[in-house]
A = this chain, B = another copy of it.
Amino acid sequence: MNTIIGVMGPGEEATSDDLSNAYLLGKFIAEQKWVLLTGGRNAGVMHSASKGAKENKGTTIGILPGDDYASLSEYVDIPVVTGLGNARNNTNILSSRVIVACGIGPGTISEIALAIKARKNVILLNDDEMAKNFFKKLSDEKVYIAGNIDEACKLLIELVQNY
């Protein structure tokens, strides 16, 4: 079984920092020979992380909300077509060994919360102090704060090794 790392984050509302962080996360995950899992669409963090992984010889899975390939990122190797809409967010979480939330938005928040509920470790990578405080208070045990991409990568290594 491969080690699957989920990278979750905004689609259309991603910031330029989110996009560059997502690319670097995808690259790092590929370099570790892990498999990248995202929400699969050709937008925002999903797309940039998949691009970062593919351009560095990684393998990418995309868990699509729709019932066809209409919104699929070209950097996804293995599209899983669920037709579940946002109910697929729970599949994203259950299928990932560790989750990185890269940026913040309603969908991402639902995923962080579902991760805590499923007792998965989540790394928060963004500069929204309120979001970090909010989730850290919710689960000091399962939520990890990364101040930048290097800290996120170090945390990923630790959390995968101690899984």
Q: Interface on A for B, CB 8 Å cutoff?
A: 1-2, 4, 35, 61, 63, 67-69, 72, 74, 76-91, 94-95, 105-107, 109-110, 113-114, 116-118, 130-131, 133-134, 137-139
User: Do residues A77 and B110 form an inter-chain contact, with CB atoms below 8 A?
Assistant: no
User: Do residues A83 and B85 form an inter-chain contact, with CB atoms below 8 A?
Assistant: yes
Smallest CB separation, A160 vs chain B (Å):
15
Among the listed B81, B90, B95, B118, which residue makes an inter-chain contact with A94, where contact means beta carbons less than 8 Å apart?
A: B81
| Chain B residues closer than 8 Å to A106, beta-carbon distance | 113-114, 116-117, 138-139
Contacts A4-B78, A72-B1, A80-B95; A114 near B86 (Cβ below 8 A):
yes
Expressed in whole angstroms, the Cα–Cα distance for A84 and B87 within the complex equals 8
| Chain B residues closer than 8 Å to A82, beta-carbon distance | 87, 90-91, 94-95
User: Do residues A134 and B130 form an inter-chain contact, with CB atoms below 8 A?
Assistant: yes
User: Do residues B90 and A85 form an inter-chain contact, with CB atoms below 8 A?
Assistant: yes
| Chain B residues closer than 8 Å to A83, beta-carbon distance | 84-87, 90-91, 94
User: Do residues B81 and A91 form an inter-chain contact, with CB atoms below 8 A?
Assistant: yes
| Chain B residues closer than 8 Å to A79, beta-carbon distance | 1, 4, 95
Smallest CB separation, A74 vs chain B (Å):
8
| Chain B residues closer than 8 Å to A86, beta-carbon distance | 83, 90, 114, 117-118
User: Do residues A84 and B78 form an inter-chain contact, with CB atoms below 8 A?
Assistant: no
